[in-house]
Amino acid sequence: ARLGLATGAAAAVYGRLRPGPERSLGAADFPWVLAPALAAALAFCLVAAVLDAVVRAAAERVPHGARRPLLPSPAPHCVHGLAGLTMAVLWKSPYGAPAALMVLPPVYLSCRTFARYHRERAAHQATVRALVQAVDLKDPYTRGHGERVGRASVLIARELGLGEDRLETVRLAGTLHDIGKLGVPTRVLRKDGPLTPAERRTVELHPEYGHEIVRGIGFLGEAREAILHHHERLDGTGYPYGLAGEAIPEAARVVAVADAFDAMTSTRSYRRARPVGEALEELGRCAGTQFDPRMVRALTRAVQREGWQTAVTSDEAVPPAARPGPRGVPAG
């Protein structure tokens, strides 16, 4: 139904914009016919995207206003629209149907290429889900933390005006930022009391462990550096390398703010969550020393506009005394 409605919309747009009365296309119609054909392809793309957003919002029970529409690239639709126009012209030409059918092989190859891209993308997403589930099993205190950090990272990146490719990179970095916890002993991750200096040093190795785990995953790109450096601080007192200021990759500075924000607004077995407003104020207080002020301001604007759903990441009761966290604003 989605494809049928999109095709009907494209046909209606073309019919309203086509040059001259309805008749067979010929050489005299070029290049004037290209503009309505392009408009029809764009109409197909837009209607298909809107219908897809409606279906997703209904299936996931997300209000329409809470989800920004993700418009697909119009390039494939324009290419296929041009191929369809070429077939129509050739079909009505003296060469007839055999000439029109010659357009089908390249269209078939194009469809195969796009299908392969979508299969690879699905495999990438399955890989990320598997890694996230492994971390959640290792450290149930923070289950779901990576996915929320990924969402918060996208809020920041979108507010900064980053492109769609960078948005996806930042989302992956936020989602997988704690993958290195797979290399930290379980007894340390699940310890209820304060960590000893040796245990803290072990935990502080998790960015390097994470970077080693994902080093060979090519599609992560810049996200690998964000995983390695998301605990660096703007004043140079972070870890693992003590980078400062602009030397810290931009994606890592985004993830650092998103990580601390979700850590503060999530109820865990060893402490209660802070209210969202209080967490944003704390991030603002640490801006310039621990966090990049641009990222903090971007998150504040995005959360004030779109809201944020806090989380409980443990089924256990919260004790009256909270476990001391790391220096500065706590991170996941």
Partnered with residue 267 across adjacent β-strands are: 312
pLDDT of residue 133: 85
Known active-site residue 181: yes
pLDDT of residue 91: 78
**With contact defined as beta carbons under 8 Å apart, do 44 and 3 qualify?**
no
- Alpha-helix residue ranges (DSSP H) falling in the chain: 2-17, 34-60, 75-92, 96-101, 104-138, 145-159, 164-176, 186-189, 197-203, 206-214, 223-229, 250-265, 276-286, 293-306
Per-domain boundaries in the chain: 2-102, 131-312
pLDDT of residue 314: 44
**With contact defined as beta carbons under 8 Å apart, do 139 and 270 qualify?**
no
- For tokens 């903090």, the residue is 296
List the catalytic residue out of 92, 138, 181, 191: 181
pLDDT of residue 259: 94
Fold of 131-312: Hypothetical protein af1432 (1.10.3210)
pLDDT tens, residue order, the chain (332 aa): 888 999 999 989 988 887 666 655 655 666 677 788 888 888 988 898 888 888 877 876 654 444 454 556 677 777 777 787 778 777 777 777 887 888 888 888 878 887 888 888 888 888 888 888 888 888 776 778 888 999 999 999 999 998 888 898 999 999 999 999 999 898 888 887 788 899 999 999 999 999 999 988 888 888 999 999 999 999 999 999 999 999 999 999 999 999 999 989 887 655 677 889 999 999 999 999 999 999 999 999 999 988 887 665 444 444 433 333 444 565 66
Write the secondary structure of 78-94 as one string of H (helix), E (strand) and C (coil): HHHHHHHHHHHHHHHCC
Could you tell me how far CA 55 lies from the centroid of its own chain? 19
pLDDT of residue 24: 57
pTM attached to this predicted model: 0.68
pLDDT of residue 254: 96
Name the amino acid, one letter, at 236.
Answer: G
pLDDT of residue 123: 86
- For tokens 């759903």, the residue is 309
